[in-house]
Chains A and B, each alone.
Chain A
Amino acid sequence: MKKKFFKTNGILILLIAVVLTLLAGLYSAMFGSKASFVTNAWGIVTTPVQKLVSEFTSWAGHIYSYTYEFDTLKKENQELKQQIADMQEKVRDGEASTAENERFRTLLNLQKKRRDFTFENAAIADRGSSNWSSTLTLGKGAANGVKVDNCVVNAAGDLVGIVTQVGTNWCTVITVTDPGLELGGTILRTSETAILEGSLELLKSGRLKLSYLSEQSDVVNGDLVITSGKGGVYPSGLVVGYVENVRNDVSGATRYAVLSPAADLRNLTEVFIIKSFDIVE
């Protein structure tokens, strides 16, 4: 039945279709910029669907890209972290080098002033933890030419202590506050000489004494005290500390000055051992 219908009316239907197509083409050519009612209706229905499909495709694309690129990003992230760590290390090294450079510059000034000094720099290996003494252990010893009674200073040339024991690659230093310390000191302003000594009484507060001041001594607070160099064992002119106050001895016969050390003994990390010097009396 159907076959018969198409056999008899097929050509007619084809002609109608061709005419309709031509009419549509003609309409489109004449009013191409404006959507037809059918196109418009089709667009209204399909656009949200297309949009949804497009968004889904885009999301799926992102997921795919994320999955695909995750390993690359992870690797890149690790590389960047490593780079940051390397840069931070370089910054730290730079800061340490700057600080070291600063210390050596200061030391260079001292070296210019005192050309007779031969220095040996040394790191502090250990700090004594006894309540009865104040000592440092340095990482240089006899192998580096260090000897007992060598003076130890900081970069500014302030006296830190005196070497008392020497091993092959280490030495022990008693600091200026240790009760065992005893050397000649001079008040720079008045040129008065006296004895610098550590004391158990002042050890806890990190101070030392300038003992046996003369009755006529006009030492005042803030006076700078340096090593006298008398006897030739220790070099002269090393800054020891500043006078904080003047007290009478227990006997009342003599006076002594309490000194605050010029060197910051608690925060030292590196010191310089004076291995040789010219004796000037």
Chain B
Amino acid sequence: MPIRNWMIKWSVYSLALLLVYFLQTLVTDRILIFGVRPDLIPVAIAAVAVLEGGVGGAGFGLGAGLFSLAVFHSAGILALLIYPLAGALVGLLAEYVLQNTFLSCALCVLIFFTVLELWRILPPLIGGAAFLPLLGIALPEFLYSLLFTLPVYALFRSVYKRVGGFWL
């Protein structure tokens, strides 16, 4: 793939990520369900990883991690590790086991969020926090974020149809 096409492709993906970010900060952050807001960036990473495979997923995960670190002060430095890793794993799963369909994406988002929520729960749990209050945040966050799999996947699928592919 020529470098110019490669740059156009990932620029369009970045713009779509920006759109997801605006959706999260301007819309969903104001609509709390059970007191929580959804986390859409991991959904975007899973969608791109399913469509673009392991390498593309890892790259996009790294970019999304850097972006999260820049725009969300609450995002920890670990986002730089977790997001690319998850992007790579989901991408490889889609590449070799599943297909790049919505159902695969939904399954990958499910796995991604399970790992992510465990990652969020474990430190306070080890620190002595009660399990139920933690579950009270993790479960609604997990389910609420899952609701956005379809629109986010549809967005990135439309990008993929126009400029995606070539497993780069």
Best-surrounded residue of A200, A203, A250 (most CB of chain B within 10 A): A200
Question: B141 at the A/B interface (Cβ < 8 Å)?
Answer: yes
The answer on a CB contact under 8 Å between A179 and B73 is no
Query: Which stretch (A66-74, A128-136, A144-152) binds chain B?
Result: A128-136
* Nearest 6 pairs of A and B residues by beta carbon: A204-B35, A201-B133, A128-B74, A130-B74, A131-B36, A200-B133
Mask of A241-272 contacts with B, CB within 8 angstroms, 1/0: 00000000010000000000000000000000
- Contact for B74 among A135, A201, A205, A250, CB less than 8 A: A135
With an 8 A cutoff between CB atoms, is A95 at the interface?
A: no
Which B residues, 52 to 80, have Cβ-Cβ distances below 8 Å to chain A?
A: 72-75
Which chain B residue has the least Cβ–Cβ distance from A180? B124
Q: CB-CB < 8 A to A201: which residues of B?
A: 130, 132-133, 136
Roughly how many angstroms separate A26 CA and B73 CA in the complex, as a whole number? 108
Residues of A within 8 A of B75 (CB): 130
Across-interface contacts of B74 in A (CB, < 8 A): 128-130, 132-133, 135
Q: In the complex where A200-B129, A204-B136 touch, is A129 in contact with B37 (Cβ < 8 A)?
A: yes
Instruction: Kindly list chain B residues whose C-beta atoms are within 8 Å of the C-beta of A129.
Output: 24-25, 29, 37, 72, 74
Contact B37–A131 (Cβ < 8 Å) = yes
Task: Give, as a whole number of angstroms, the nearest-CB distance from A179 to chain B.
Answer: 7
Residue B6 at the chain A interface, CB threshold 8 Å: no
In the assembled complex, which residues on chain A have CB atoms less than 8 Å from the CB atom of B37? 129, 131
B137 contacts A by Cβ under 8 Å: yes
Q: How many residues of B contact A (CB 8 A)?
A: 22
A203 to B120, CA, bound (A): 15
Instruction: Return chain B residues, CB-CB under 8 Å to A135.
Output: 73-74
Q: What's the least CB distance linking B164 to chain A, in Å?
A: 28
Assess whether B35 is in contact with A250, with CB atoms less than 8 Å apart: no
B167 is an interface residue with CB less than 8 A from chain A? no
**Which chain A residues lie closer than 8 Å to B35 at the CB level?**
131, 203-205
Residues of A within 8 A of B (CB): 126, 128-133, 135, 137, 172, 179, 199-201, 203-205, 250
Cα-based distance from A250 to B74 in the complex (angstroms): 29
Convert B8-34 into 0s and 1s, putting 1 for each residue whose CB lies closer than 8 angstroms to a CB of A.
000000000000000011000100001
Tell me which residues across on chain B come within 8 A of A133, comparing CB atoms: 74
Chain B residue with the shortest CB-CB distance to A125: B73
Please provide the chain B residues from 77 to 91 with a CB less than 8 Å away from any CB of chain A in the complex. Answer: none
- Within 8 Å by CB of A132, from B73, B120, B130, lies B120
Query: In the complex the two chains form, is A130's CB within 8 Å of B34's CB?
Result: no
Q: Give bound CA distance, A130 to B75, whole Å.
A: 8
Q: Please state if B73 and A172 are interface contacts (CB–CB under 8 Å).
A: yes
A2 to chain B, nearest CB (A): 99
Scan B127-162; emit 1 where CB is below 8 A from any A CB, else 0: 001101110110001000000000000000000000
Distance, CA A200 to CA B24, complexed state (A): 22
Q: Is the CB of A203 within 8 A of B73?
A: no
Question: Which of A126, A131, A135 counts the most chain B CB atoms within 10 A?
Answer: A131
Report if A137-B137 is in contact (Cβ < 8 Å); known contacts: A129-B25, A201-B130. Answer: no
B72 pairs with A204, CB closer than 8 A: no
7 further interface pairs, Cβ-Cβ under 8 Å (given A179-B129, A250-B130): A129-B74, A131-B35, A131-B36, A131-B37, A131-B141, A200-B124, A204-B34
Q: Bound state CA distance, A171 and B37, in angstroms? A: 24
Question: Does A130 contact B136, Cβ atoms closer than 8 Å?
Answer: no
